[in-house]
Amino acid sequence: MNPIGLLEMILPAIESGSMLLLAETRPEALDRVLAERPEISRLFEIVRLAPPSDGEIQGLLEAWAGRSRETRRVEVPRDVLREAAALARQYLSAHVAPGGVLRLLEGALEDAVLRAGPGGSAALGMDDLVSALARLTGLPRDLLDERRALDLEAVRRRFEARVIGQPEAVGCLVDRLALLKAGITDPARPTGVFLFAGPSAPARPSWRRRSRSTCSAPPTVSSAST
């Protein structure tokens, strides 16, 4: 449903005081609504929340770790908390902090609880983080786990064996995967956006299929004829 249309329906009730409404939204969505309906600023008390600081996030994560130890019998070392925060910044930047890192930790916690078994105890480790991150992102473990080497030449050969005669396009994708593996991509931007342009219609969908089969969750790709 159009949120502006819904707002039109409930504004009379809000103005008369017969409806009390507590809402949350993203800053860009609020700015768009205010531009279209300036009276919202009069009818609502708008509270803009600043993102938590790194220190506040660390405090939240340590509190989460304490609850996990008490209620789920899972120990969460501080170095694992730090690594989870770093992985969330790189791969889960679409989630406002600390949402991404908490989703990652909750997924890893479920793995640790299953590993411990009924009534057992466990320690959360890197394997749990990588498994949870792979599920959240769709990316393969070899790409996410810094302890594993990514054989770029094997990736290149895999692409070249499936898409013939496109060395420049192969090189672009392999270079982007190398940057992602090294952790030097900008988490505020897409992993990669590629435009495959050419006269051969079958080749362009083939690229999309091959990038999916190699990366599981590929860089964004588009195709166009020339």
> In this structure, what token pair is assigned to residue 207?
């690229």
Helix axes 78-91, 126-137, angle to 10 degrees: 20
In the chain the domains, ranked by start, together with CATH numbers, are 3-43 (no CATH), 54-144 (1.10.8.60), 152-224 (no CATH)
Tokens 């017969």 correspond to 18
What is the pLDDT, as a whole number, of residue 177?
A: 79
The whole-number pLDDT of residue 79 equals: 94
Helix axes 152-162, 167-182, angle to 10 degrees: 150
Angle at 69 between CA 64 and CA 73, to 5 degrees: 135
> Tokens in use for 116?
């411990």
pTM over 0.75: no
Residue 1 has a pLDDT of: 47
Q: Whole-angstrom Cα distance, residue 221 to residue 195? A: 6
Phi, psi of 222 (to 5 degrees): -130, 160
Q: Other C-beta atoms within 10 Å of 91: how many?
A: 24
Determine the number of helices (DSSP H) and then strands (DSSP E) in the chain.
11, 4
- Enter the DSSP assignment of 41: H
Q: Which helix (H) or strand (E) holds 157?
A: helix 152-162
As a whole number of Å, the end-to-end CA separation of the chain is 39
Could you list the pLDDT tens digit for every one of the 226 residues in the chain? 455 577 788 888 988 989 988 888 888 889 998 998 898 899 999 999 888 888 999 999 999 999 999 999 999 999 999 999 989 988 888 888 899 999 999 999 999 999 999 889 999 999 999 999 999 988 778 777 877 777 888 878 887 887 777 888 888 888 887 887 777 777 667 667 767 666 665 555 555 555 555 554 444 444 444 4
User: What are the tokens at 98?
Assistant: 């600390």
Rounded CA separation 75/144 (Å): 23
Closest CA to 133 of 168, 95, 166, 163: 95
